[in-house]
Amino acid sequence: MLTRKQHELICFIADRLAETGVSPSFEEMKEALDLKSKSGVHRLISALEEREFIRRLPNRARALEVLRVPERAIDTRKSAAAKGDKSSPASATLPRPANDVVEIPLHGRIAAGTPIEALEGSTMLPVPAALLGAGEHYALEVAGDSMVEAGILDGDYALIRRTETARDGEIIVALIDDAEATLKYFRKEGAMVRLDPANRDYSAQRYRPDQVRVQGKLAGLLRRY
């Protein structure tokens, strides 16, 4: 059986998820329950986890999933739905907070102009989950201006889905001679691989197929202002 505060918190989280798809922050939970500190929220969250009312989604900030709600909360929602109150959370199922934040590896800087040495790092970059699709992803910081006509600017973060294959016209991360990486359009030109920039001031780069390894393709961009 839940305490009054635990009951209030699970209902508050469920309502917020139904309304916005994003779980409330600890500060919002503290204020909603009129608690003096966030430590009280942490204790309530832990108690609800133990009772399997909620679970925390891994590698995401502010991400809680409601597994079930107390009977009294369900009855309240049913009553509201029976009265035709479409604005009530009763009329919708509880969504997963899909537009929360995930962390993906940030692997150094990648040239959008002349190829530079590929860097590996352990830094993690927080990214809105809505920008990523299925599959494994990582991020690279763009250095250079050769992809500006594709809307990819110096300092942007390229969000890359890992893959070893590509089709003509896709923007890929190409590892050249296992040493240098670049972000370019992928083209096949006879027996050669052509890497095209998106800037008329730059020339295409041509390589033998054995010189180029596809490391992933562009899934999205993140820009900080």
| Enclosing H/E stretch for 56 | strand 54-56
Task: Calculate the alpha carbon distances from 182 to 171, 172, 204 in Å.
Answer: 10, 8, 12
The phi-psi region of residue 178 (left if phi > 0; otherwise alpha if psi is between -120 and 50; otherwise beta) is: left
Is 184 catalytic? The answer is yes
Give a three-class secondary structure readout of 97-131. CCCCEEEEEEEEEEECCCCEECCCCCEEEEEEHHH
Catalytic entry in 184, 188, 203, 217: 184
The pair phi, psi for residue 81, each rounded to 5°, is -65, -40
* CA nearest to 174, candidates 144, 213, 147: 213
Catalytic entry in 23, 30, 88, 146: 146
Is 146 catalytic? The answer is yes
Task: Give me the active site residues, please.
Answer: 146, 184
